[in-house]
Structure 1
């Protein structure tokens, strides 16, 4: 199929992009790498009257360190993160996550902000950024607001973004000596959509402990009680029976096979984090 007719506008400034979106009155949509939005247009699952191309806005293509945070422009591509193009992300967990997204051709054009705005439950950034406690910066004619990454999605392909709002940046915590993290997903083959995923993040200095399930047909699911127990007790709280029980409570309507997939994802993410070699991750 081919896309329904739409007007195309390429912008080079954030304010211009927001102005065009606002004038669209809900009929204009921003596009960056187009790796998800493009197919939706061609399948006519999306039929905007106007497409606003924001991929070439310089302000959305920058990465900088701001204290304990790293600010990532929304139009930074997965491949640029994977390749360590930006020094503030050279040793960040996001590099490994980026390298596992779909295929290289898609990573070369797909962007962080575009992936978040698309809000596919199986997307890698949706679950990992929720786990590390990232913050998403949104801008509209009314000004700028910042939301927690775990509060972005309302449901599959549905977010809190208003029609005239644009994701302009993502703030992620910088690496510290106490950071431990892990991410694992199950796909039928490399590059396919995840059938189950899990991300874990522990940082004693920031008093943060997160275990998050992704690819669960909706927003990321936080296993807060389980994460707190693992942080305080270490390996003894992260046995298979404990993981399975936590997953079962989070996904009571899933069948046994699905729960085993998610349990395996949590276990392997915890193994990556080093939790099994540390008796206690928090005081």
Structure 2
């Protein structure tokens, strides 16, 4: 199938993009790398009257350090993060995540902001940025607002963004000597969307302890109790049965196979993070 007829506008300023979205009356859609939006147009799952291409806006393609955070422009591509093109992310765990997104051809076009706005429950950035406690900045003609990554998704492919809002940046905590990070996902084959995933992030110096499940058919699921217990008690709070119990509580309607997959993702993400070795040394 081919996409239905629509008007196309390429802009180089955020203000111009917002003007197009505002005049569209809900029928205009922003497009980044088009790696998800493009197929939706072709399948006629999306039928906008106006498409505004924001992928080349210079202000959305920068990365900078900002008071303990790294601010990433919404049009920065997965491949740029994977390749360490931007110095503030050269040693950041986001490089590991970016390198595992789909295929290289998709990573060269797909953008961080586009992935978040698309809000596929199985997408890598949705779960990992939630684990990092990322802050998403959106702009509209009414001004700017900050959205916690946890609060962005309402459901599959549904977000809190208004029709005239545009994601302009995402801020993640800077890497520190005390931070520990892990991410694991299960796919049928490399490059496909995850059937189960989990991301963990601990930073004792900033009192951060987060474990998040992804690919759960809806918004990421935060395992707050489990994360707090592990931060306080270490490996004693992370036995397989304890992990499984936390997963079962978060996903009460899943079958035994799904629960095993999600539990394994949490276990491997924790192992990858190295948090237990660090806590042991601190004792």
TM range (shorter): over 0.9
Q: What is the SS of the residue equivalent to 1:19?
A: helix
* Alignment RMSD (CA, Å): 1.2
Residue 236 (structure 2) pairs with residue 236 (structure 1): yes
Instruction: Tell me how far apart the structure 1 counterparts of residues 81 and 163 of structure 2 sit (CA, whole Å).
Output: 28
Deviation at 1:276, TM superposition (A): 3.3
Structure 2 alignment gaps of length 5 or more: none
Aligned pair count?
283
Instruction: Tell me how far apart the structure 1 counterparts of residues 46 and 280 of structure 2 sit (CA, whole Å).
Output: 48
Say if 2:74 and 2:167, in contact at 8 Å, map to a contact too: yes
Which residue matches 1:95?
A: 95
With normalisation by structure 1, the TM-score equals 0.98
Instruction: Tell me how far apart the structure 2 counterparts of residues 280 and 50 of structure 1 sit (CA, whole Å).
Output: 56
Say if 2:202 and 2:275, in contact at 8 Å, map to a contact too: no
Instruction: Tell me how far apart the structure 2 counterparts of residues 281 and 232 of structure 1 sit (CA, whole Å).
Output: 14
Which residue matches 1:41?
A: 41
Instruction: Tell me how far apart the structure 2 counterparts of residues 102 and 212 of structure 1 sit (CA, whole Å).
Output: 20
Pairs within 5 Å for 1:144-223:
144-223=144-223
Say if 1:28 and 1:49, in contact at 8 Å, map to a contact too: yes
Say if 1:229 and 1:237, in contact at 8 Å, map to a contact too: yes
Which residue matches 1:12?
A: 12
Deviations 1:128-177 (A, max 9, x none): 00001100000000000001011100000000000000000001100000
Say if 2:210 and 2:227, in contact at 8 Å, map to a contact too: yes
Deviation at 1:279, TM superposition (A): 3.8
Deviations 1:225-266 (A, max 9, x none): 000000000111111011011001100000000000000000
Which residue matches 2:264?
A: 264
Deviation at 1:67, TM superposition (A): 1.5
Instruction: Tell me how far apart the structure 2 counterparts of residues 275 and 39 of structure 1 sit (CA, whole Å).
Output: 40
Q: What is the SS of the residue equivalent to 2:170?
A: strand
Instruction: Tell me how far apart the structure 2 counterparts of residues 246 and 260 of structure 1 sit (CA, whole Å).
Output: 12
Say if 2:83 and 2:95, in contact at 8 Å, map to a contact too: yes
Runs (4 or more) in structure 1 with deviation over 4 Å come to 280-283
Deviation at 1:280, TM superposition (A): 5.7
With normalisation by structure 2, the TM-score equals 0.98
Instruction: Tell me how far apart the structure 1 counterparts of residues 257 and 62 of structure 2 sit (CA, whole Å).
Output: 42
Deviation at 1:272, TM superposition (A): 0.6
Q: What is the SS of the residue equivalent to 2:125?
A: helix
